[in-house]
Amino acid sequence: MLELNVNENIRLRQLQVEDAPALFQLIHASRKSLRRFLPWVDYTTKEDDSLRFIELMQRKTDEEEAVAFGILYNDTLCGVVDLHDWDHALQKAEIGYWLAPAWQGKGIMLHSCKALIGYAFTALRLNKVEIRFVLQNDKSAQIPIKLGFTREGILRQSAKLHGHYVDMVVMGMLRPDWKY
């Protein structure tokens, strides 16, 4: 099981099938806020959906396509950060993340992403990490901005949110530009 120590309070631990009940409860309790920018929240209606997500990510980890970590703050699951769309030819992957509202505003995601990016550039030997977010998602934008990513452009109408096309911002960091 992959595990990354972020600091004395935060640990990233690869999601396990045993996490399904806690993961589902967290999403269910946070659905009102999370669904604004995360379309999959509306399709997560029962514990089995979280279980299937964890199993899918485990299969993708076996295939070296993705890895999903539960974020543990003082040993309590409070969100997820993942690497996906791992392209071996380009040595590139994308980071996704969410935190339940009660744990937002503490720097947990900033520090978790910092640790994951370090892992991606060192252990996984990636050359590039990307973060994509809906143009209107100002909170999400702050993460790559604070981490020194470069804004690379806008993918117009490249996602659908509650029946409407939305524009996605792409920000990226290259390994030579990684300084922490």
Ligand X SMILES: CC(C)(COP(=O)(O)OP(=O)(O)OC[C@H]1O[C@@H](n2cnc3c(N)ncnc32)[C@H](O)[C@@H]1OP(=O)(O)O)[C@@H](O)C(=O)NCCC(=O)NCCS
Kindly list the residues in this chain that would bind ligand X in the complex (CB under 6 A). 34, 37-38, 97-99, 104-110, 133, 137, 139-140, 143
State the nearest-atom distance from the C-beta of 110 to ligand X, in Å.
3
Instruction: State the Cα–Cα distance between residues 166 and 169, nearest whole angstrom.
Output: 10
> Nearest-CA neighbor of 12 among 80, 103, 65, 85?
80
- Shortest reach from residue 22's CB to ligand X, in Å: 17
Toward ligand X, which CB reaches closer, 18 or 24? 24
Helix runs in the chain, H state only: 20-29, 31-34, 47-62, 108-121, 138-146
Q: Which is nearer to ligand X, 88 or 139 (CB)?
A: 139
Decide whether 13 or 106 has the Cβ nearer to ligand X: 106
- Cα(26)–Cα(78) distance, integer angstroms: 7
- C-alpha dihedral sign at 1, 51, 44, 104: negative
Question: Cβ 149 to ligand X, closest distance in Å?
Answer: 13
Closest CA to 106 of 149, 70, 139: 139
Q: Which residue lies nearer to ligand X by CB, 60 or 132?
A: 132
**Least distance to ligand X from the beta carbon of 95, Å?**
9
